[in-house]
Structure 1
């Protein structure tokens, strides 16, 4: 049994462990606003280098925000979890200086598989994208464990 199993802060402890090594999220200026079991919320400001030839945010940056939020939500159980399949539907464009907020929530978790939805909205509440991620646990933990 993990020494973190009964900890009310397990989700936050896992997020803290992941965050220190998530150089991509840090480089893009993402902020982890909230995390709890099976849920996460992140924010990212759209900067000029994130714009495509149409003057809107490149979809890859929006996907990266959603995928990162998904990762923090599905790694709240101290079991290493990775994406098995992800898809995104873009609903509205995002523009320079928009503050995008991603809200991830667990839909289902059974055995080694999980299903998560992520909604992305801008600072005005405009619905920018919908992301669905299929998660799969792998060997290992985020936090040190001890055997009882």
Structure 2
């Protein structure tokens, strides 16, 4: 985890979904997050590949950590994922979220999910909305 982000302020301790799946935070900086997850046998679907819901969850978690780096509580407004390649049991996946734009109470974030080898497995785009605090002021 980056020195820029205080581990006690990431919210990971209050995130049982990520902890139970073994999702690990590698780095969090302002507007960015990188998380890692190993695909287990329990995550396979009937086709013998990783269930898309787990890939979505990993990407969504990276999105959540990235959009909450600004302070006020921020939640997903909507999200879309494109599955490009299947993941298999044993694959080490890395999800990297990057803030594209913040305006008022909203934001747009892109997340790329890759195998440890760098091969892209999925692309995710999430739209966020601040639900508490004061919206960020943008220069005109």
TM-score (norm 2): 0.90
Give RMSD over aligned pairs. Answer: 1.7
Secondary structure of 2:6's aligned partner: helix
Residue 1 (structure 2) pairs with residue 25 (structure 1): no
Structure 1 unmatched runs, 5+: 1-7, 142-148
Q: CA contact under 8 A between 1:15 and 1:76: conserved in structure 2?
A: no
In the TM superposition, residue 13 of structure 1 has moved relative to its aligned partner by 3.3
Measured at CA, do residues 16 and 83 of structure 1 come closer, stay the same or move farther in structure 2, by a change above 3 Å?
same
Match of 1:144 in 2: none
CA distance, structure 2, for counterparts of residue 71 and residue 140 of structure 1: 17
Pick the structure with greater CA Rg: 1
**Which contiguous aligned blocks of 4+ residues in structure 1 show a shift greater than 6 angstroms?**
none
CA distance, structure 1, for counterparts of residue 121 and residue 10 of structure 2: 29
TM-score (norm 1): 0.85
Residue 57 (structure 2) pairs with residue 82 (structure 1): no
> What count of residue pairs does the alignment treat as equivalent?
132
Match of 2:43 in 1: 50
Q: CA contact under 8 A between 1:15 and 1:35: conserved in structure 2?
A: no
Residue 11 (structure 2) pairs with residue 13 (structure 1): no
Question: Which residues of 2 match residues 97-136 of structure 1 at below 5 A?
Answer: 97-136=90-129
Secondary structure of 1:78's aligned partner: coil
Q: CA contact under 8 A between 1:86 and 1:132: conserved in structure 2?
A: yes
Q: CA contact under 8 A between 1:14 and 1:75: conserved in structure 2?
A: no
